Structure 1
Amino acid sequence: MRARATLLMTLAGLMLGAPRPAQAQAGPREQATRTQLVQSIPAETELADPALAFAKDAWVEMIRSAKLSVDAAEFYVTNRPGSALEPVLVELEKAGARGVKIRFLLSSKMLDQDPASVARIKRIPGTEVRSFDLAGVSKGILHAKYFVVDGKEAYVGSQNFDWRALEHIHELGVRTTEPVITSRLERLFAIDWAFAEGRKLPDLPAQPPMSARSQVELVASPPFLTPKDIRPAIEALVDLLDQAKQSVRVQLLTYSPVAGQDRFWPRLDNALRAAAVRGVKVRLMVSDWTLGSRALPHLKSLTLIPNLEVKVVSIPEAKEGHIPFSRTVHSKYLVVDGTHLSVGTSNWEESYFDDSRNVELLFRDSPLAAQATGIFDRLWGSRYAFALDPAKTYEKRKVD
């Protein structure tokens, strides 16, 4: 508790600096040129959107363009020889060789996933790797997945720095040069980079708070590690759900209002139910990893509410056989009324919003929302998605 209080006091100090001028907001057409959705699709499925780039290609292009810096915050890194992540790592090595400064932040609890790849990144000239550990402050982790190139272009999405995320998992991310996003990501990275070294937050000047109705907004978690001019992600998501008038589409790996051992966490659950009750058509799609979770009874109860449908997505095993922690849907996005979109890194469970570092991007009145609607509807109507039956008993899916 003392460590958490110290962090809160330090965060208050971030507000003492002179504010910077507010950045101009991009209109819908300008958003489309600055920002694009990027997909990852499980191999041997027909779920790809022909209009969207793939993350494996976008990552290579972005890193290849780096002239000064690459700042990355990732849950973990895992590679396999010959996989889609290999060209990405090669581009990182080339960037370091030409003098690009690389800073790589990894979750302390996941460093053992692929020690050889972590060591490989550390060997790149001009590269520093730090371990992010919230022990003693919260039970959370670094769960965000993003990187910023030259302080001007950023990628945020559900993809972990993992070969499986690029080849065998349904994922959605955002590639953008939107200054509102890149500048705030750089601030969050600076906070976490400094915290990883000395458990102290840097003294950054405050910026004016963004309007809750800004067309483009970056929100983050957890609140105690985020400057007060960046809204907590949970508040932004509930706000979007409360504003829904016609439709809500949500796609997630997992969804659960069960917190800890025996607590009920109803913030998002209540917002979904309230939307359905007032006549909004709500569709929630989750992975079959939820079939063995404590949240299953709660998901079943949602199906009993008029205007609220729940589907589960099950991706068949690859032809090569079982690949642990893959062949699933891992995207985390929300579309409201077909015009507003949130894309991020949080599963909808309490710990992701209250304890762990995560990032979400919000786009209002944006053509990106229509694209995300198409992605959702393609999967919703596919042979991989089935309606959750409240009366049926389901077997737990093999994950590892």
Structure 2
Amino acid sequence: MSPRSLLLILTACLGLGAQSPATRLVQSIPVETALADPKLPFAQDVWLDMVRGAKASVDAAEFYVTSRPGSALEAVLIELEKAGARGVKVRFLLSSKMLDQDPASVARLRRIPGAEVRSLDMAGVSKGILHAKYFVVDGREAFLGSQNFDWRALEHIHELGVRTSEPGIVSRLARLFAIDWAFAENRRMPEFPPQPLLSAHPKVELVASPPFLTPKDIRPSIEALVDLIDKAQQTVRVQLLTYSPISGQDHFWPRLDNALRAAAVRGVKVRLLVSDWVLGGRALPHLKALTLIPNLEVKVASIPEAKEGHIPFARVIHSKYLVVDEVHLALGTSNWEESYFTESRNIELVFRDSPLATEAARIHDRLWNSRYAFALDPARGYEKRKVD
């Protein structure tokens, strides 16, 4: 641990204010694994607490919704129904391409008293999708993370999110929700009125994709991520579902790849942790090539099947975050592939000089050093993992 990160922990404990305790990391851990961090709350508990505390509104933008009887998400849906019954205005925005995942749960959202559900369709504008996952309660607090509104995300997937009442983040999330909510209704590109620009590197920053659907005073996510990596001095930790510099059939998109390689070349220790969904994929040869670069390690995490048997699209690491020098953290909803940054709605939160970064580094190390992670061998062949 660096002296700087130790100082951040001490100042946080003493209440000297590196980062407000109103912002907390929130975990989801696959059951029957030993990956839980004892110091962090679980997403299902946080979601229940936030919805129960709602007094006026719940605005949610989600990739999709899917539940099953008796699941952790079932309890959240019940609390949303109670919220609507007591007069809370519930608005849900879902990706148009994922409405068929669980039509019964979508219909259930529509039946919440006073609720309104819209679908975001980017056809004709881009090939992208609504891939962000967040909700805002009463305009005073918000949750954003890798967790989809999916029972599996609460029980069978490794995820990381943030609960925050930072006014700058909450107001910007509410603004993006308003933009997408209106676009979903009229399919017209919004006009962005001038807004005051933030300082060049604020302590807490919301960045977003795609640029064409984002106000100019909110930086593109890709710029923020590359900037953080370019400024790394000691360590870079990355955890993702998927990573690929290959876009489309044969297009090479090296922005993040170049940044990681350059960091390693200048002596920064880079650790890239990806899920076993990459095995057998077309990016695998490129990931193998990365392992040949000094100071750049690649590991693959593989979560065993649950005792109940195979669960489609589960038992995987799905978190999407970057930790630089144990003091800066970028956490959000983008897999590191071009379309997530250029065509689809995604959001990242950047925390600079924050104890949250030290916590995220601890989470990364726990998984990196666990029995679930193995070093990618450039000389070995791998079978594609069953996903669906």
For residue 333 of structure 1, report the CA deviation from its aligned partner.
0.3
Select which of 271, 277, 295 maps to 2:283. 295
Select which of 328, 335, 339 maps to 2:327. 339
- SS of 2:38's equivalent? coil
For residue 210 of structure 1, report the CA deviation from its aligned partner.
1.8
Select which of 273, 296, 301 maps to 1:313. 301
Unaligned regions of 5+ residues in structure 2, if any?
1-14
Residue matched to 1:328: 316
Residue matched to 2:152: 164
Matched, 1:79 2:70: no
**Could you report, residue by residue, the CA deviation over 1:172-222 in whole angstroms, capped at 9, with x for unpaired residues?**
000000011000001100000000000124555432122231000000000
For residue 338 of structure 1, report the CA deviation from its aligned partner.
0.3
For residue 59 of structure 1, report the CA deviation from its aligned partner.
0.3
Amino acid at match of 1:197: E
For residue 38 of structure 1, report the CA deviation from its aligned partner.
0.1
Residue matched to 1:383: 371
Matched, 1:102 2:90: yes
Amino acid at match of 1:227: P
Amino acid at match of 2:155: E
**Please, what TM-score do these two structures have when normalized by structure 1?**
0.92
Amino acid at match of 2:250: D
- The within-5 A match list for 1:1-400 is 29=17, 31-203=19-191, 205-400=193-388
For residue 251 of structure 1, report the CA deviation from its aligned partner.
0.1
Amino acid at match of 2:144: V
Cα pair 1:188 1:226 within 8 Å, conserved: yes
Q: Distance in 1 between matches of 2:212 and 2:190?
A: 14
Amino acid at match of 2:278: T
Cα pair 2:190 2:213 within 8 Å, conserved: no
Q: Distance in 2 between matches of 1:258 and 1:202?
A: 31
Q: Distance in 2 between matches of 1:394 and 1:32?
A: 44
Distance 1:263 1:165, change over 3 A: same
Distance 1:38 1:64, change over 3 A: same
For residue 87 of structure 1, report the CA deviation from its aligned partner.
0.8
Cα pair 2:278 2:284 within 8 Å, conserved: yes
Amino acid at match of 2:346: N
- SS of 2:72's equivalent? coil
**Could you report, residue by residue, the CA deviation over 1:231-271 in whole angstroms, capped at 9, with x for unpaired residues?**
00000000000000000000000000000111100000000
Q: Distance in 2 between matches of 1:212 and 1:347?
A: 25
Q: Distance in 1 between matches of 2:220 and 2:16?
A: 24
Q: What is the aligned residue count?
A: 374
Q: Distance in 2 between matches of 1:88 and 1:316?
A: 27
Cα pair 1:338 1:369 within 8 Å, conserved: yes
Q: Distance in 2 between matches of 1:29 and 1:271?
A: 31
Amino acid at match of 1:142: L
For residue 30 of structure 1, report the CA deviation from its aligned partner.
6.4
Q: Distance in 1 between matches of 2:36 and 2:20?
A: 20
Distance 1:225 1:203, change over 3 A: closer
Cα pair 1:32 1:367 within 8 Å, conserved: no
- SS of 2:208's equivalent? strand
Amino acid at match of 1:312: V
Cα pair 1:28 1:365 within 8 Å, conserved: no
Cα pair 1:192 1:201 within 8 Å, conserved: no
Q: Distance in 2 between matches of 1:314 and 1:225?
A: 35
Q: Distance in 2 between matches of 1:240 and 1:103?
A: 34
Question: Identity rate of aligned residues, in percent?
Answer: 79
Q: Distance in 1 between matches of 2:113 and 2:16?
A: 40
Q: Distance in 1 between matches of 2:295 and 2:196?
A: 39
For residue 34 of structure 1, report the CA deviation from its aligned partner.
1.4
Q: Distance in 2 between matches of 1:286 and 1:194?
A: 35
Q: Give the RMSD, CA atoms, in angstroms.
A: 1.0
Cα pair 1:145 1:158 within 8 Å, conserved: yes
Distance 1:202 1:102, change over 3 A: farther
Cα pair 2:52 2:79 within 8 Å, conserved: yes
Compare 192-201 and 111-120 and name the one that shifted more.
192-201
